[in-house]
Structure 1
Amino acid sequence: MTRAIGEAAARRQARNSAAFWAATGKSRGHEVVHRRGFLAVLGDERAGTRFLVQEPDLDAAELAELTGLAERASGPVDAEDPFGATDLGHLGLRNWQMPVMLREPGPVGPPAMDVTRVRQPHDLHAAERMVIAGFGLDRFEPHRPGELFPPALLEQPGVDVFLAVLDGEPVGACVTVVDEGIGSLYWVGTPAGHRSRGVGRAVMLGALAPMADLPVTLTASRLGRPLYESLGFTALADSTWWASK
């Protein structure tokens, strides 16, 4: 793999993540700040503030503005840098790396359970609960329906939420975003009680099917990477994530 291929994958992920978080921020009524080098979503005490680094070469003014926004955040701070090039250690955040993965266009098999695109509020709330439990998002407890996934999120261009149901019970969910001809997946979540039942694979297959003719990116956790590789994703770059301690 050449450096150029890795940077191209990182840039695709950066742009799509920015589209996703801008849509999320707008649907929640939060302020969205667009700059050349980063996008920021200024959330409340529970949602927090999120930064999406958009270029590998933030200049001094951009870094100073990002720093100021982080220091004034009313809740937790999270940042994604798909290029792994911006040091945010001065903000006192912990950091770790996860691979940016790419799947080229290709056929997608059928899921082994019912996976549907969410259309109704009660299904959106079910998907929200799956993600909160699957990712251990304690900041969103106690659960307030519509806080993580507001109904307005379904009205954002290119955004879809998928819900997996097994034996009549919600068991997993994810979000997809299509922007500028690139698809990406977010919040692929399965609560602990439903794991090791093929839910993650089913959710992925159901969500990938409408994007089968597009290149699709994602950022993988250590546990999720083998599943994604089995579905045709290849790791091409290392993304650095930062979060409040």
Structure 2
Amino acid sequence: MNIHSRLEQANDNAAAFWLAQARAHGWQQLAHPGFTAVRCARTPDDAHRIVVTRPYGEPAPLEEELAALLREWSTTQLTLEDPYGRLDMARFGCSHGPAMPVMAREPGPLDVSPRGGRTATGGGTDESLTVDEVQDGDGFAEVERSVVDGFPIPARQPWTRGGMLPERLLAEPGCRAWLGRRDGVTAGACLTYDDGRATGVYWVATLPDHRSRGVARAILETALAAAHPDRPATLVATPLGAPLYRKLGFIEQSRTLWWTRSPSAGGQGRGGQER
């Protein structure tokens, strides 16, 4: 397998984004040649994160290595991303939902034109919608609120400023945030992370009162046009988001299994899918 393929670029970008969050929060981290792990610690039972970044041979040795790390870190809750889909973490108290597509878009321009702020056209976007890059803490807090309430992320509700996305994250090189508003009211948001090789798209969210108005499309078009259009863009798609991403030129590279662990599974925690 080509370790410089779009899939590996997507894996590397996700790992780098979690390492940036670890720096912003002051969390322990481990960058292994085949995976990256972050010991998230907002609360004692917070979900630790592991992203498998490279192909592996027989899965059993990697499973044991990961299990040893979980014991060392006293992991209660966990989200583990396996884009190769061959690990079996069930014997360690984990379970997974349906596989989700890892998608990539080749470099190239999008057909966008500004309206108000940075507003993209197409997809039924209404004239009251503007999209801007966030530059300050108050704007970043609105991005965080949009993600927590729009995704939604129950573990972060009720939303508290900086609880999930501290303002320090905005100062991390490569991290940019985008906020959509309708008639000046926050409608949705996303984050992008550029690691020098690819631009990852994360947490595309629309608040409930603003759905079916072209908000997500406008935010994505604006972010993709402004955040290094000369690089490939990568993301993991939810079932609801995948059709839009395909319309914007994203192509499935693989299907990833997200293994989680919860207190109900023999005392081992379930992590929120925060990506």
TM-score, reference length from structure 2: 0.81
User: Which of 26, 29, 38 is the aligned partner of 1:29?
Assistant: 26
Cα distance in 2 for partners of 1:188, 1:122 equals 19
Residue 121 of structure 1 corresponds to 137
Q: Which is richer in helix?
A: 1
Structure 1: 5+ residue runs without aligned partners?
none
Q: How does 1:1-245 map to 2 (within 5 A)?
A: 4=1, 8-44=5-41, 45=43, 47-57=46-56, 62-71=62-71, 72-73=73-74, 75-95=76-96, 96-108=98-110, 109-110=112-113, 111-112=120-121, 113-210=129-226, 211-245=228-262
After superposing the two structures, state which structure 1 stretch, 5-14 or 45-54, moved more.
5-14
The one-letter code matched in structure 2 to 1:57 is Y
Identical aligned pairs, as a percentage?
35
TM-score relative to the length of structure 1: 0.91
Change (3 A) 1:190 1:75: farther
Write the letter of the residue equivalent to 2:16.
A
Distance 2:216 2:2 in 1: 28
Q: Using the alignment, how far apart are the partners of 1:64 and 1:128 within structure 2?
A: 35
- Tell me the CA shift for residue 88 of structure 1: 1.8
- CA contact under 8 A between 2:24 and 2:166: conserved in structure 1? yes
Please tell me whether the aligned partners of residues 9 and 100 of structure 1 are also in contact (alpha carbons under 8 angstroms).
Answer: no
List per-residue Cα deviations over 1:174-217 (Å, max 9, x = no partner): 11011132111011111222210111101101110123221111
Q: Is contact 2:76–2:261 with CA below 8 Å preserved after alignment?
A: no
1:28-51 Cα shifts (integer Å, max 9, x gaps)? 111111111211110123642000
User: Is the contact made by 1:132 and 1:138 (CA closer than 8 Å) also made in structure 2?
Assistant: yes
The alpha carbon displacement at 1:99 in A equals 0.8
Which deviations, in whole Å up to 9, do the C-alpha atoms of 1:136-179 show, x marking residues without a partner? 21111232211211111011111111111111111111110111
Structure 2: tracts of 5 or more residues without a match: 114-119, 122-128, 263-275
